């Protein structure tokens, strides 16, 4: 057997299982939208040799950003206006509060448990020139003071939305709009409107009078 054939055969043996593993994990065209998943541990996301800041406790869901077109649709669904204060619970790189501040000139707050996300969000707010309007807080969203919000945005999980529902209903002012990307609140709270954008659903609720 020549050297070329030996190398070719070895490469083939290596590639077959790799390609078949990739094929099994590929999303189907109907389900191309990446969805966040619950976390058992935080994934390392920095270069080797760098010390990533680590959250005080494991985030409840991994970081997956909302595409800009979906952010725009969420702000439209909430009918954000110049008098609103927007809170994004689990704010990732800060794109939703930053978009709200840039588009409407409103105050916006992002809450994330992961210090690496908070650092990125602050850098992004600086680059967007909205540091006067936007604040990022490194907090657990379940413990956070959210009473100033008039609009709340979520991209978590259905189970987390349902766990958060009592806090939303007791701490938010009546009339506050809640918009969630991809996840509803199951049977516990029917959304008043659902829109479809980029193969995903976005949902709207309004906090009722108490």
Ligand X SMILES: C[S@@+](CC[C@H](N)C(=O)[O-])C[C@H]1O[C@@H](n2cnc3c(N)ncnc32)[C@H](O)[C@@H]1O
| Interaction site with ligand X (CB under 6 A) | 36, 59-61, 63-66, 88, 90-92, 95-96, 111-114, 117, 140-142, 155, 181
Residue pair 99/88 in contact by the 8 Å Cβ criterion? no
Q: How far is the CB of 188 from ligand X (least distance, A)?
A: 19
List the beta bridge partners of residue 101.
none
Q: How far is the CB of 134 from ligand X (least distance, A)?
A: 13
For ligand X, the closer CB: 107 or 138: 138
For ligand X, the closer CB: 61 or 130: 61
- The two tokens of residue 131 are 């540091």
For ligand X, the closer CB: 61 or 101: 61
| Gyration radius from the chain CA atoms | 21
The pairing of strands 134-138 and 151-154 is unpaired
The residue at minimum Cβ distance from ligand X is 90
For ligand X, the closer CB: 4 or 201: 201
Rounded CA gap, 108 and 85, in Å?
6
Q: How far is the CB of 21 from ligand X (least distance, A)?
A: 25
For ligand X, the closer CB: 9 or 32: 32
201 burial (CB, 10 Å; 0-12 / 13-18 / 19+) is: middle
For ligand X, the closer CB: 10 or 46: 46
Q: How far is the CB of 137 from ligand X (least distance, A)?
A: 9
DSSP letter string, 41-110: SPPP-S-TTS-----SS--SB---PPPHHHHHHHHHHTT--TT-EEEEES-TTSHHHHHHHHHH--EEEE
Q: How far is the CB of 47 from ligand X (least distance, A)?
A: 19
- State residue 119 phi and psi, 5-degree precision: -65, -45
Q: How far is the CB of 87 from ligand X (least distance, A)?
A: 11
């Amino acid at each position: 057997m020549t050297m070329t054939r030996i190398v070719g055969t070895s490469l083939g043996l290596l590639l077959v299982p790799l390609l078949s593993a990739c094929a099994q994990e590929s999303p189907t065209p109907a389900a191309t939208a990446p969805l966040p998943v619950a976390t058992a541990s935080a994934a390392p996301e920095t270069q080797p040799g760098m010390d990533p800041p680590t959250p005080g406790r494991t985030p409840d869901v991994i970081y997956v950003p909302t595409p800009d077109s979906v952010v725009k649709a969420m702000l439209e669904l909430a009918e954000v206006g110049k008098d609103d204060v927007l809170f994004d619970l689990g704010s990732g790189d800060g794109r939703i509060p930053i978009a709200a501040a840039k588009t409407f000139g409103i105050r916006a707050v992002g809450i994330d448990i992961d210090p690496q996300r908070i650092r990125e969000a602050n850098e992004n707010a600086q680059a967007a020139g909205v540091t006067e309007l936007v604040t990022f807080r490194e907090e657990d969203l379940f413990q956070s003071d959210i009473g100033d919000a008039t609009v709340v945005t979520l991209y978590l999980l259905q189970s987390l939305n349902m766990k958060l529902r009592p806090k939303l209903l007791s701490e938010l002012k009546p009339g506050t709009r809640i918009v969630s990307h991809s996840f509803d609140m199951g049977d516990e709270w029917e959304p008043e409107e659902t829109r479809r954008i980029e193969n995903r659903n976005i949902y709207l609720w309004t906090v009722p009078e108490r």
